[in-house]
Amino acid sequence: MGQSLISNNIRKLRFFHDEMTQQQLAEKVGVTRQTIIAMEQEKYSPSLELAFRIARVFGVPLEEVFSYDDESKSR
C-alpha cells in the first residue's frame, strides 16, 4: 500500500502523443481512468500485461515507460 517502487513516464508520454487524455489511454488499454490516475500518481503498480499494453500504445519499449528504483525511495 502507498507509494510504489515502480515509477513511470506515462504523463510525459501522453504529452508527447498529442496530449492524449487519461480517458483515451484508459480506453486503449482497457482500464478505468481512475487506474491511469493512480498509476500516474505512483499509487498503483500495474500488472505485467497492462504494462506491456501501455508501452505498445506509446510504441516504446517497456523500460521507457516504467522503471524500478528501490534505492532512491528506500532512503
- Residues forming the site for other proteins (CB under 8 A): 1-4, 30-35, 38, 41-44, 46-47, 50
Q: What CA–CA distance (Å, rounded) separates 62 from 67?
A: 9
CA 1 to chain CA centroid, Å, is 17
User: 16 or 56, CB closer to other proteins?
Assistant: 56
Taking alpha carbons only, the member of 31, 29, 39 closest to residue 6 is: 39
User: 4 or 8, CB closer to other proteins?
Assistant: 4
**Shortest reach from residue 45's CB to other proteins, in Å:** 9
Is residue 45 within 8 A of residue 6, CB to CB? The reply is yes
User: 3 or 67, CB closer to other proteins?
Assistant: 3
